[in-house]
Chains A and B, each alone.
Chain A
Amino acid sequence: MDETVAEFIKRTILKIPMNELTTILKAWDFLSENQLQTVNFRQRKESVVQHLIHLCEEKRASLSDAALLDIIYMQFHQHQKVWDVFQMNKGPGEDVDLFDMKQFKNSFKKILQRALKNVTVSFRETEENAVWIRIAWGTQYTKPNQYKPTYVVYYSQTPYAFMSSSMLRRNTPLLGQALTVASKHHQIVKMDLRSRYLDSLKAIVFKQYNQTFETHNSTTPLQERSLGLDINMDSRIIHENIVEKERVQRITQETFGDYPQPQLEFAQYKLETKFKSGLNGSILAEREEPLRCLIKFSSPHLLEALKSLAPAGIADAPLSPLLTCIPNKRMNYFKIRDK
């Protein structure tokens, strides 16, 4: 086994938390059941890793085996990367061909290898006709850097692909081209949607987030549940604005629905607008150039936070459509200009 491959496998295994180790090794399916049974997983991590490397050497692990392990690690730790969304479209008049996974993989690999002599491409198919692609980039003269790969998740029955944001941005056009040509599309466009949560991006892009499920709370009377009132409410407390509260709850429900919101961490608005003011003769209003300004909303769970603004009394309902349109428009990066 190559020194670099051994080092690569070692570093990958070291990243894996102990409680996930057996699961990931089983998913990798490279070391046999017998081999795994010889490992004492209760030792210190360094000893476990040493033993595993030894077993990999016995089985002569190759670079592609190591790359596969890396893909599996990333599948378990998706949130460590920020994912961009790309949409492809077919040219006008092109037929929808039957998708051939083998042909796609060959074509994709060939395109990248022709352009850059040194590149490592690995694939792993998952459910829902998705394929995870891992690309380690090199140049004409340098070997691929295995520690800064790009990951692509392509849903073959759809025109959408998710790409991990990478520092090596110069390879993105080539990657886009390879994906487009290999999947028999005509054009690829980057959507204004980005997040760490791949599942949420999927839910937004494929419009799967608006499914209501029956929960055990549905046994309580509708009004009490919707007002969020405590059933053991003190009768000495009287709410004067029940009508207003109901209105806010109704509008919130109409806008956001009953279902849990997809998870996003931020929304960014780039404004390029002229200053508008009711006062005449304001210096800013006379300015010819538009003002530029960037507004960013951050939250561990942005959409749930927005949903709770009006019921908490922090904002008026209905909220600005610029905020509520995020899952619908499949965007969390906005550019606002004067019409």
Chain B
Amino acid sequence: MSVLRPLDKLPGLNTATILLVGTEDALLQQLADSMLKEDCASELKVHLAKSLPLPSSVNRPRIDLIVFVVNLHSKYSLQNTEESLRHVDASFFLGKVCFLATGAGRESHCSIHRHTVVKLAHTYQSPLLYCDLEAGLQWCNHGSLQTRAPGLK
């Protein structure tokens, strides 16, 4: 089983690669589009994946940050995230992983309690951000995202 390791490749010159992992492709696409619109000192590349492990046949750059996108409206989304986490090497969790929970605003549609993702993020010692993609992108803790991803200014 292939496991993602943070330092198994050399970093690209002045480039940063973010991997978004989540079940809903449209959500990931929207997120990626918004991220690329922001000004970034380095060249930013965004990879979208439904789940881990990634297909091994592809030659890809070193991944600097993994964002697990969990839709609080979908138990399937949480289950997918939990299974994907098994394919990430422990050293990734030293500041290169982030959890993004969407849909917290519509309480009545949530089938996953917020506490569940809080506990998940706590277990993996990684930050948890909340985001509501339906109302347009709103970032919380935008600052912390930048400082925790080396390679990005």
Taking Cβ atoms with an 8 Å cutoff, the residues of A that contact B are: 234, 236-241, 243-245, 311-316
CB contacts (< 8 Å) of A234 on chain B: these are: 32-33, 36
Measured between alpha carbons, how far is A313 from B55 in the docked complex, in Å?
18
Knowing A312-B24, A314-B23, A315-B76 are in contact, say whether A237-B48 is a contact too (CB < 8 A): yes
Least CB separation from A239: chain B residue:
B48
CB contacts (< 8 Å) of B47 on chain A: these are: 237-240
Chief secondary structure at chain B's binding surface: mixed
Closest-CB distance, B96 to chain A (whole angstroms): 17
Knowing A312-B24, A313-B25 are in contact, say whether A241-B46 is a contact too (CB < 8 A): no
Chief secondary structure at chain A's binding surface: loop
Closest-CB distance, B63 to chain A (whole angstroms): 11
CB contacts (< 8 Å) of A245 on chain B: these are: 25, 50
Q: In the complex the two chains form, is A237's CB within 8 Å of B46's CB?
A: yes
Measured between alpha carbons, how far is A225 from B55 in the docked complex, in Å?
23
Measured between alpha carbons, how far is A234 from B23 in the docked complex, in Å?
20
Least CB separation from B23: chain A residue:
A313
**Which of A236, A237, A238, A313 has the most B CB atoms < 10 Å from its CB?**
A313
> Which listed residue (B29, B55, B60) contacts A243, Cβ 8 A?
B55
Is B86 interfacial (CB-CB < 8 Å)?
no
Is B10 interfacial (CB-CB < 8 Å)?
no
Taking Cβ atoms with an 8 Å cutoff, the residues of B that contact A are: 19, 22-27, 29, 32-33, 36, 43-51, 54-55, 58, 60, 74, 76
Closest-CB distance, A113 to chain B (whole angstroms): 54
Measured between alpha carbons, how far is A315 from B76 in the docked complex, in Å?
7
Q: In the complex the two chains form, is A240's CB within 8 Å of B55's CB?
A: yes
Q: In the complex the two chains form, is B46's CB within 8 Å of A313's CB?
A: no
CB contacts (< 8 Å) of A241 on chain B: these are: 48-51, 55
Measured between alpha carbons, how far is A314 from B24 in the docked complex, in Å?
7
Q: In the complex the two chains form, is A240's CB within 8 Å of B24's CB?
A: no
CB contacts (< 8 Å) of A311 on chain B: these are: 25
CB contacts (< 8 Å) of A315 on chain B: these are: 76
Knowing A236-B44, A238-B45, A240-B58 are in contact, say whether A312-B50 is a contact too (CB < 8 A): no
Q: In the complex the two chains form, is B36's CB within 8 Å of A313's CB?
A: no
CB contacts (< 8 Å) of B29 on chain A: these are: 237
10 contacts between A and B (CB under 8 A): A234-B36, A237-B45, A237-B46, A238-B48, A239-B49, A240-B19, A240-B54, A241-B49, A243-B55, A314-B23
CB contacts (< 8 Å) of B32 on chain A: these are: 234, 237
Measured between alpha carbons, how far is A240 from B59 in the docked complex, in Å?
11
* Given A237-B33, A240-B48, A240-B60, 16 additional A-B pairs, CB 8 A: A234-B33, A236-B45, A237-B32, A237-B45, A237-B46, A238-B46, A240-B19, A240-B50, A240-B54, A241-B55, A243-B55, A313-B23, A313-B24, A313-B25, A313-B50, A315-B76
Least CB separation from B48: chain A residue:
A239
Least CB separation from A242: chain B residue:
B55
Least CB separation from A229: chain B residue:
B29
Least CB separation from A235: chain B residue:
B45
Least CB separation from B54: chain A residue:
A240
CB contacts (< 8 Å) of A316 on chain B: these are: 76
CB contacts (< 8 Å) of B22 on chain A: these are: 313
Measured between alpha carbons, how far is A313 from B69 in the docked complex, in Å?
12
Measured between alpha carbons, how far is A241 from B53 in the docked complex, in Å?
10
CB contacts (< 8 Å) of B33 on chain A: these are: 234, 237
Closest-CB distance, B41 to chain A (whole angstroms): 15
> Which listed residue (B44, B45, B50, B58) contacts A244, Cβ 8 A?
B50
> Which listed residue (B46, B58, B60) contacts A236, Cβ 8 A?
B46
Least CB separation from B58: chain A residue:
A240
Knowing A236-B44, A236-B45 are in contact, say whether A314-B76 is a contact too (CB < 8 A): yes
Closest-CB distance, B28 to chain A (whole angstroms): 9
Measured between alpha carbons, how far is A156 from B94 in the docked complex, in Å?
74
CB contacts (< 8 Å) of B58 on chain A: these are: 240
Measured between alpha carbons, how far is A314 from B77 in the docked complex, in Å?
8
Q: In the complex the two chains form, is A314's CB within 8 Å of B48's CB?
A: no
Measured between alpha carbons, how far is A315 from B51 in the docked complex, in Å?
13
CB contacts (< 8 Å) of B51 on chain A: these are: 241
Least CB separation from A234: chain B residue:
B36
